């Protein structure tokens, strides 16, 4: 009888341990390991790109992650991801958080959790100057974008007759535009502005005033990782309140930058 009891107790313990292992507690884990591993873009100025001088990845997304890590008292490790790889990387446990120009939407929210919106933009196009006035001008044309993005889905809906060519990332799509292989590149205006800002022959291109969607960005975390989501959201609200979020926006999108944009949002509890 005693033996049976011990066996039963051992079984209960195994089940309990397995359950603890299943429920992600990234907040506790990150504190324990002393590092926050963030999945970021590394070729999309001004969100995440390699700084020519320091050779380090810098940008708007990176500054948010750094603030969160500082608040946690841990170091940051930046791991480059693409639009298509960021969710699998998170779900497989290779990164702790996604800070990579990622739009929050109900479809993605079935698989991962999102923070409050920390950036807001909308989807537009880069085209050769003077060629596109309305969406009709893009009908039946080839349009470049990135695999696994909302841009890919939105453009197929907005211009069903277009042929969408999906690349690993947007700089490759822009190269295709420069080589005349596509008539336009489409994604978030903020990303397009960053690409144009860096292009040596930018005077040949433009971003016509044609917006096909709203794209609110959220930081991505594992599903039901409640403590971590709550911590990140609390930190974002603090950043809005103490002016840090606005400061980061001005640093990357202020009037003196290559990508001047207006801050049309405030971080608030939007869920």
Q: Check: CB of residue 43 under 8 Å from CB of residue 169.
A: yes
Tell which one of 127, 151, 186, 235 touches ligand GLU (CB under 6 A): 151
Toward ligand GLU, which CB reaches closer, 101 or 117? 101
Tell which one of 43, 115, 149, 186 touches ligand GLU (CB under 6 A): 149
Tell which one of 63, 96, 113, 188 touches ligand GLU (CB under 6 A): 188
Measured from the CB of residue 187, what is the shortest distance to ligand GLU in angstroms? 5
Distant-in-sequence, close-in-space partners of 150: CB < 8 Å, separation ≥ 6: 103, 105, 123, 213, 215
- Structural tokens at position 150: 């909302």
Measured from the CB of residue 186, what is the shortest distance to ligand GLU in angstroms? 9
What whole-number distance in Å separates Cα of residue 184 and Cα of residue 126? Answer: 5
Told to check if 85 binds ligand GLU by CB under 6 A, we report no
Q: Check: CB of residue 101 under 8 Å from CB of residue 44.
A: yes
Measured from the CB of residue 168, what is the shortest distance to ligand GLU in angstroms? 10
* Site size toward ligand GLU, by CB under 6 A: 13
Toward ligand GLU, which CB reaches closer, 67 or 114? 114
What whole-number distance in Å separates Cα of residue 3 and Cα of residue 39? Answer: 49
Toward ligand GLU, which CB reaches closer, 35 or 164? 164
Q: Is 118 exposed, middle or buried (0-12, 13-18, 19+ CB in 10 A)?
A: buried
Measured from the CB of residue 55, what is the shortest distance to ligand GLU in angstroms? 23
Q: What is each CA distance from 130 to 133, 183, 203, 207, in whole angstroms?
A: 7, 12, 11, 10
Told to check if 186 binds ligand GLU by CB under 6 A, we report no
* Residues 196-225, mask of contacts with ligand GLU (x by CB under 6 A): -------------------x----------
Tell which one of 26, 43, 89, 101 touches ligand GLU (CB under 6 A): 101
Toward ligand GLU, which CB reaches closer, 30 or 42? 42
Measured from the CB of residue 102, what is the shortest distance to ligand GLU in angstroms? 4
Measured from the CB of residue 29, what is the shortest distance to ligand GLU in angstroms? 26
Told to check if 150 binds ligand GLU by CB under 6 A, we report yes
Told to check if 146 binds ligand GLU by CB under 6 A, we report yes
Measured from the CB of residue 77, what is the shortest distance to ligand GLU in angstroms? 20
Measured from the CB of residue 146, what is the shortest distance to ligand GLU in angstroms? 5
What whole-number distance in Å separates Cα of residue 170 and Cα of residue 175? Answer: 9
Binding site for ligand GLU (CB under 6 A): 83, 100-103, 146, 149-151, 187-188, 191, 215
């Amino acid at each position: 009888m005693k033996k049976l009891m011990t066996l039963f107790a051992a079984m209960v313990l195994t089940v309990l341990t397995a359950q603890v292992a299943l429920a992600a507690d990234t907040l506790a884990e990150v504190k324990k390991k002393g590092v926050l591993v963030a999945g970021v873009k590394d070729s999309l100025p001004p969100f995440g790109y390699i700084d020519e001088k320091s050779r380090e990845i810098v940008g708007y997304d990176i500054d948010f992650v750094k603030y969160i890590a500082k608040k946690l008292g841990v170091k940051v490790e930046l791991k480059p991801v693409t639009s298509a790889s960021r969710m699998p990387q998170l779900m497989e446990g290779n990164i702790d958080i996604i800070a990579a120009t990622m739009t929050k939407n109900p479809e993605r929210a079935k698989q991962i959790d999102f923070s409050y919106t920390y950036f807001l933009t909308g989807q537009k196009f880069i085209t050769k100057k003077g060629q596109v006035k309305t969406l009709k001008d893009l009908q039946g044309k080839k349009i470049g974008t990135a695999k696994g993005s909302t841009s890919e889905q939105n453009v197929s809906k907005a211009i069903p007759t277009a042929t969408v060519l999906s690349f690993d990332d947007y700089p490759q799509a822009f190269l295709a535009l420069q080589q005349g292989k596509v008539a336009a590149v489409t994604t978030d205006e903020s990303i397009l502005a960053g690409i144009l800002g860096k292009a040596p022959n930018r005077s040949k291109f433009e971003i016509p005033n044609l917006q096909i969607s709203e794209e609110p960005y959220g930081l991505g975390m594992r599903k039901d990782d409640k403590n971590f989501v709550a911590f990140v959201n609390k930190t974002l609200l603090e950043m809005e309140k103490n002016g840090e979020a606005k400061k980061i926006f001005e640093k990357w999108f202020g009037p003196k930058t290559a990508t001047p944009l207006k801050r049309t949002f405030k971080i608030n509890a939007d869920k």
